[in-house]
Chain A
Amino acid sequence: MRKIAVYGKGGIGKSTTTANLSAALSRMGYKVMQIGCDPKSDSTSGLNGGKEIPTVLDAIREMPDRISLEDIVFEGAGGVLCVEAGGPTPGIGCAGRGIITAFEKLEELNAYEVYRPDIVLYDVLGDVVCGGFAMPVRGGYARDVFIVTSGEKMALFAARNIATALSNFKNRGYARLAGLILNSRNVRNEADLVKALADEIGTSVVKVLSRSPMVQQAEDMNGTVVDLFPESSMGEEYMDLARKVLEGSSDV
Chain B
Amino acid sequence: MYKLTVQLPPFSPDYSGVCSALFELGGLLLIHDASGCTGNYTGYDEPRWYGSDSKVFCTALREIDAVLGNDDKLTEKILEAMEALSPRFVGLMGSPVPTVIGADLQGIATEIESRSGIPAFGFSTTGLQLYDWGISEALLALSRRFVRPDRAKTKGTINLLGATPLDFGTKNFLPHMKGELEARGLEVSACFAMGSSLDDIAESASASVNVVLSAGGYGLARYLFSRFGTPFVVGQPLDGILADDLCLMIDRAERTGESQIPGPASSENGEVLLIGEHVTMHSLARRIVMESGKTVHIGCPFRRIGEISGPGTFDLPSEQSIAESLSRGYGSVFGDPLYRGLMKDGGNYVEIPHVAVSSKLYWNDPSPILGDGLSHLLKGVVLS
Contacts and interface: CB of A to CB of B under 8 A. Distances in A.
Interface of A: 94, 96-97, 100, 130-132, 134-135, 138-139, 169, 171-174
B114 A131 contact: no
Given A130-B101, A173-B107, 20 more contacts: A97-B100, A97-B102, A100-B102, A130-B102, A131-B101, A131-B102, A131-B103, A132-B102, A138-B104, A138-B106, A139-B104, A139-B110, A169-B107, A171-B114, A172-B107, A172-B108, A172-B110, A172-B111, A173-B110, A174-B107
Interface string B76-119: 00000000000000000000000011111011101100110000
Interface string B25-60: 000000000000000000000000000000000000
28 contacts: A96-B102, A97-B100, A97-B102, A100-B102, A130-B69, A130-B101, A131-B69, A131-B101, A131-B102, A131-B103, A131-B104, A132-B102, A134-B104, A135-B102, A138-B107, A139-B104, A139-B107, A139-B110, A169-B107, A171-B111, A171-B114, A171-B115, A172-B104, A172-B107, A172-B108, A172-B111, A173-B110, A174-B107
A130 B71 CA distance: 12
Contacts of B110: 139, 171-173
A179 to B, nearest CB: 23
Contacts of A138: 104, 106-107
A131 B107 CA distance: 12
A228 B148 CA distance: 57
A100 B105 CA distance: 13
B264 to A, nearest CB: 26
Contacts of A130: 69, 101-102
B104 to A, nearest CB: 5
Nearest to B112: A171
Contacts of A172: 104, 107-108, 110-111
Contacts of B100: 94, 97
The listed residue with most B CB atoms (<10 A of its CB), out of A138, A171, A172, A174, is A172
Nearest to A103: B102
Contacts of A131: 69, 101-104
